[in-house]
Structure 1
Amino acid sequence: MRAILPISLIFTILISCSTQTKLPQELKGNWLSANDSIEWIISLQPDFAVYDNKFWDYKSISGNKSKFVIKLTEGTQTISLKAVLEDSLSLKITDNNNIDKRLTRKKAARPDFRNYDMQGFEELQMMDDTVTIRGFIEDYDPDIYDGTGSIYHRNVFSNVFEEEETRFNIDTTGRFEARFRAFNLQIIYLSIEGSSQTRIVIQPGSSAMIGFNNLLLDVTNDARKWEGLTDWQINHYMGEYGRLSEELILLLHHLYRNSNTSPLKKFDAIDEMSQMEYIGWRKEVYSQETAMMDSLILEMRNSKKAEECVHGILEIELLHHLYHYQISGTRFQYLAAPYIEQIPELNASSLNLINTDFLSYLNYLNIFYRQQPLSNISEDIAKYRLQFMLSQSKSTEEQKLIKELIDVPAITAELLNQGNIYPLESSDYDLFLNKRVAALRKPYNELWSKYWEKIPDSIHLHTLLKELDFVLDKHNKNLISQLYAAYCINRFFENNPPGPELNLWITNNIDDPILKKLSLEYHKKEAEAASEFADYAENTFFISQIKNAEEGDEFFNKIIQQFKGKVIYIDFWADWCSPCRAGFKPAARLKKEYAGKDVVFLYFGYNCKNERWDQVIKQDQVSGYHYWLDKEQGKVLKEKFGIIGIPHYLLVDRNGNISADQAPDPGNRAAIRERLDELLK
């Protein structure tokens, strides 16, 4: 006689076998398409699922052993997935449309992207939209991770509408989400505080999902376990540009690991080589790296978009370095005509914006147009300024000199080379060129030193517009030249009050609708900011002006002695210096962190007009101690600390001794905190 189970027990067994919300352990993990072992299809985690680029909650999970029905819900949407576990590494899912997908847990060791997309980018346009980044950390442990992260993103409007860094919190299940405004396709850098940093490709208006598998926990606990690992083994991506992010992780890792020339060497060579040696060597490095990457792209059968991105990254890095040569070591280097002739033209594609080197390229290109005598515009700007100086001069002899300088023909390559006895490839020629330009420009530079503080904003505006008209005309108003114009206008707004003339110029000359809209928007924002703050930030103090003494730097010692017993973080800055002012926001965060501790934030106004210096302290709400360096005091400290550019940072210990004459900038949070904490011990 068979035993009959009670009805209540039968019901309990049926329920336990058929319906639950707890994820079976055998289903847990990140599941990839078995076709290529790359494309991330679904992640099943104990507290949530990831599918179709979204987070889902479990409504129910039914089945047992190897066959399951998983119902997922997200807002008002519910989907049902049939899952068949074929073995510990293989899963088949069937979606609502009865489409089967075979999945694997194991990511490809030798990636083959199988030319999944051989369509290149269409002509990319500037956009203005929000980017959403979602992600999670598998097996998240709040005791191991710091619980925060950040996304670093840059574009031509960085520090205008958005900070370069967007921070986010990680919830107790390991999930996070961040949103920020973006204007172009670009690579962003996502950091998990105290753990890892990685890259993601984004486009305005898009969303991306990134999953860090449980290997991240291993390397966070023990950094030595990174040996032999890369982001490729740890990261998974969903979204429109998820596959492209996967490709670039591999390609760029290969580039930086296998290139015969390290990124540091590319910069160090600027100081080690003459300009003609450098441009030949650097272009050869570019050719070698391009050939190496083309070979790898062919081997891995990467997409056309990945190929175009890599070429854009290599190209903008090359141009950034070639223009960077102007700032060589501890001196400014004038460029010879043969060097300038060998600098390639930047392709007029917004693909070049994908790399953060693009902003550095614009910065050094700006230096080129304004300071290089062979740039075809710097001489015109100088003569325009001379006209103003002539109107201000009270000396007959000086007026005669100014008129002569106005009538002097522009500097040419032939004029620069008069008297040269050195080979173009030698460092001696570079020194000769610098001395030659200095001699030719000496009368003008002496006049500029005398009158620069008297030059009104209207003259600065007209010289800017002359430069921008020249650049737009030279490049037929292509996207790159319009981006250059927008970049220069943004910098001008930071240092000069907005006005209707520039507003009209933007309207008539910037054709790209997004660039025009954003530039006008920034114009309005700056006009409002100029009147927003009627007073200085709380805890803003001004140190009384100290008269120059014969001892030279005695004024500096007197200032430092006021804070004996405290650590001093010194910032040399100017109102016209965009990178200087970009450092105020991270410095503000640093001040909050060290509030109540023996740290003094001391700001030296360097090579700037006193009135404008004071306005910016109020406008940017820069708390701390402030001292305006007059021209002579600026020269003394420039020589004392070897200042070749600003911003420049120093650290002073409790005894008043210089601890670091090249201190980390406030944006380098880990490095500056380490130095401050060490000095506070």
Structure 2
Amino acid sequence: MKNKILIIILSILCIYSCKQQVKVNNNLKEEIVTIKGKIHNYQNTYKTGRFTYFDAITRTIEHKIISIDSLGKFNFSFKLIHPLYNSVFFEIADKNFTEFMIKPKTNYDVVIKEGKLIFEDKWEEINKQISTFNNELNKALKDKLPKFKNINIKELSTTEYLNYQKEMEIEKLSFLTSYSKKNNLSKDVKSYLKSKLKYKSAHASITARFEYSQGFPKQKKILPKDFYKNIFNEYQITTFEDIQSRECIDYIANIVTVLSNKDTTANNKFEFFKSFNFFSPTELDLLHKLFNDFKTVSKTTEYLKFLEKNRDMFVELNWRYNVHILLKNINLLSSGLTKDLVISQGLEKYYFSNNLRPNNKEWKQIENLIDNQSILKYLKTESFKRTLAKETKTVSNEDNIVISLEKIKEKYFNKYIGKVIYIDFYATWCGPCIEEIPYAKQMHKEFENKNVVFLNLCAKSKLEDWRNFKKKHELGGENYLLTDEEYFILTNEYKVKGFPTYILLDKKGNVSEYNTLRPSSKISIYEKIDNLILKE
């Protein structure tokens, strides 16, 4: 009996020791990355570029505007917390580069030549190894890969699709094993490819909750039994090597969305709002009606007056409710990195990006839930940094923003009242923006002589670059270059998170749809515009 007790005690100590060991060894730390480069045969056309990246800890999209000198040289630095591949975007000289690896505490020398981004030293070999493997994998599985590319295949049930994804994952990982034996792949490459192949299947599986019959993702009404539980158990994140792929980062982001919306009810939301003791009994009565019948109540004069008075608090409590539900559901995940990273991305999505921070009660809950202490420390630092600016704002600054917003609308929008307005926020160095231009021209022809205006608002770009861009791409529509101040104010008004972003306004100048469809969606966006044109 004593021996059994001793064994149990030793087991507990071992588990505790292992857990403590994870906290010590799996440390995350931001390190400097420096990239120096030159554009071969530089024509002095574009004087700026942009470097964009996001990591798995918060999935915050970071931008760096890059200055290019008269010789085509550039040099910039930034902080990075873990290696990345395919969640890094380098937009420069009218080109968009994504297929390259970046690691913390590393200096890179690059050349842009004949439309290619070329790294010096071993880094070019690493990128070539990844590219070559991808090509060989596609050749080996060419008969199977395109067969069921999207979930929008009516012939497959959700279960059949999940089984197919798992079969393909096993085949790809098996190919990687045999390919690695024949080819001298570096440790970095093998680690990244393993993460990519595994979490590509994970991402495809969790997005199988959607159907696309209407041209956009819509939650399925019925999912297989234990759909989420099986995915969470199958695709746990165990090491920091897992998180370097874009596929893993996006998989985590999907879990955040799932858990922050799971099992929400109108009554639960009402009780949460009520617990803050902020609203009057009359206002609470309105909120109760709103949460039970949003479509009807949101159109009433009573609600609009309530929103005018309580907008900031109402928005804040909605974000806080998302975090409340996320933390309530987080134990559906096993302890470890998956849980830690879902919490960290959730805090960024709902709090930090909205200038909010957890309250003391939430911090205590978060501290008990997160195992990795370096992630917890990083989150506390981010919480302080990201919300400091909000606390130091003055009333006069906010008043100036209101006045400036009115002037900006008068300058750019009011002249088009009476027409549907399709706004395109873009930058001259934005690759995806450039890709949309042919579709935009096609859309302009489709609506020629109709009651709609296409308003192209360029931001974060130099005047000379903008003029060259307009001339080179023969932009149609109405074109304006925003100052940084104008862009900042409009991003808050129209919820612009990056480029390109499209906003649809009705004929009264009211927002019909934030972050609406791109020109490349063709029929889907055409129908939205047509409906607004016909609407009185």
| Class of the TM-score when normalised by the shorter of the 2 chains | 0.5 to 0.7
Distance 1:590 1:175, change over 3 A: closer
State how far apart, in whole Å, the 2-side matches of 1:614 and 1:147 are: 24
Tell whether the 8 Å contact from 2:421 to 2:504 is kept in structure 1 after alignment.
no
Q: 2:534 maps to which residue?
A: none
Q: Which amino acid aligns with 1:498?
A: R
Tell whether the 8 Å contact from 1:568 to 1:599 is kept in structure 2 after alignment.
no
Cα deviation for residue 312 of structure 1 reads 0.3
> Does residue 467 in structure 1 map to residue 467 in structure 2?
no
State how far apart, in whole Å, the 1-side matches of 2:48 and 2:491 are: 35
Instruction: Note the 1:190-589 alignment, pairs <5 A.
Output: 190-194=90-94, 197=97, 199-211=99-111, 216-217=113-114, 220=115, 235-238=118-121, 243-256=125-138, 259-260=141-142, 266-267=149-150, 269=152, 273-329=156-212, 330=214, 331-334=218-221, 335-337=223-225, 339-340=227-228, 342-343=230-231, 344-372=234-262, 378=263, 384-385=268-269, 387-388=271-272, 446=293, 457=316, 461=320, 464-468=323-327, 470-471=329-330, 474-476=333-335, 478-493=336-351, 494-495=353-354, 497-498=356-357, 500-501=359-360, 502=362, 505=365, 509-530=369-390, 531-532=392-393, 533-534=397-398, 535-536=400-401, 540-541=405-406, 562=417, 568-569=422-423, 588-589=459-460
Partner of 2:79, secondary structure, is strand
Cα deviation for residue 356 of structure 1 reads 2.1
Cα deviation for residue 495 of structure 1 reads 3.9
Q: 1:607 maps to which residue?
A: none
> Does residue 617 in structure 1 map to residue 493 in structure 2?
yes
> Does residue 648 in structure 1 map to residue 516 in structure 2?
yes
Tell whether the 8 Å contact from 2:66 to 2:74 is kept in structure 1 after alignment.
no
Distance 1:297 1:155, change over 3 A: same
Distance 1:342 1:276, change over 3 A: same
Q: 1:134 maps to which residue?
A: 36
Tell whether the 8 Å contact from 1:276 to 1:339 is kept in structure 2 after alignment.
no
Tell whether the 8 Å contact from 2:36 to 2:76 is kept in structure 1 after alignment.
yes
Instruction: Note the 1:142-161 alignment, pairs <5 A.
Output: 142-143=42-43, 149-156=49-56, 160=60
Instruction: Name whichever structure is richer in helix by fraction.
Output: 2
Distance 1:295 1:518, change over 3 A: same
Distance 1:196 1:155, change over 3 A: closer
Query: How far does the alpha carbon of each residue in 1:150-203 deviate from its partner, in whole angstroms, 9 at most, with x for none?
Result: 43322146675x62455352662x654331121111123445524573533222
Tell whether the 8 Å contact from 2:269 to 2:291 is kept in structure 1 after alignment.
no
Distance 1:387 1:246, change over 3 A: same
Partner of 1:133, secondary structure, is strand
Distance 1:614 1:205, change over 3 A: closer
Q: Which amino acid aligns with 1:167?
A: I
Cα deviation for residue 354 of structure 1 reads 1.4
Q: Which has the larger radius of gyration?
A: 1
Tell whether the 8 Å contact from 2:502 to 2:516 is kept in structure 1 after alignment.
no
**Percent identical across equivalent pairs?**
14
Cα deviation for residue 488 of structure 1 reads 0.7
Query: How far does the alpha carbon of each residue in 1:393-450 deviate from its partner, in whole angstroms, 9 at most, with x for none?
Result: 989xx9xxx9xxxxxxxxxxxxxxxxxxxxxxxxxxxxxxxxxxxxxxxx98548986
> Does residue 169 in structure 1 map to residue 72 in structure 2?
no
Greater relative contact order, per chain length (Cα 8 Å cut-off, separation 6+): 2
Distance 1:134 1:169, change over 3 A: same
State how far apart, in whole Å, the 2-side matches of 1:363 and 1:196 are: 24
Cα deviation for residue 351 of structure 1 reads 2.0
Partner of 1:347, secondary structure, is coil
Relative to the length of structure 1, the TM-score reads 0.49
Distance 1:542 1:134, change over 3 A: closer
Query: How far does the alpha carbon of each residue in 1:557-577 deviate from its partner, in whole angstroms, 9 at most, with x for none?
Result: x9996265x974168xxxxxx
> Does residue 598 in structure 1 map to residue 455 in structure 2?
no
Distance 1:470 1:619, change over 3 A: closer
Structure 1 gap segments, 5+ residues each: 1-121, 221-230, 373-377, 403-442, 545-557, 572-585, 603-612, 639-645, 652-657, 664-681
Q: 2:451 maps to which residue?
A: none
Tell whether the 8 Å contact from 2:48 to 2:461 is kept in structure 1 after alignment.
no
Relative to the length of structure 2, the TM-score reads 0.60
Q: Which amino acid aligns with 1:301?
A: N
State how far apart, in whole Å, the 1-side matches of 2:109 and 2:82 are: 19
Instruction: Note the 1:83-122 alignment, pairs <5 A.
Output: none
Partner of 1:589, secondary structure, is coil
Instruction: Name whichever structure is richer in strand by fraction.
Output: 1
Partner of 1:199, secondary structure, is coil
State how far apart, in whole Å, the 2-side matches of 1:192 and 1:259 are: 34
Partner of 1:210, secondary structure, is strand
Cα deviation for residue 483 of structure 1 reads 1.5
Cα deviation for residue 310 of structure 1 reads 0.7
Computed over aligned residues only, the root mean square deviation of the Cα atoms, in angstroms, reads: 5.1
State how far apart, in whole Å, the 1-side matches of 2:47 and 2:503 are: 36
Query: How far does the alpha carbon of each residue in 1:9-49 deviate from its partner, in whole angstroms, 9 at most, with x for none?
Result: xxxxxxxxxxxxxxxxxxxxxxxxxxxxxxxxxxxxxxxxx
Tell whether the 8 Å contact from 1:132 to 1:178 is kept in structure 2 after alignment.
yes
Partner of 2:189, secondary structure, is helix
Q: Which amino acid aligns with 2:127?
A: S
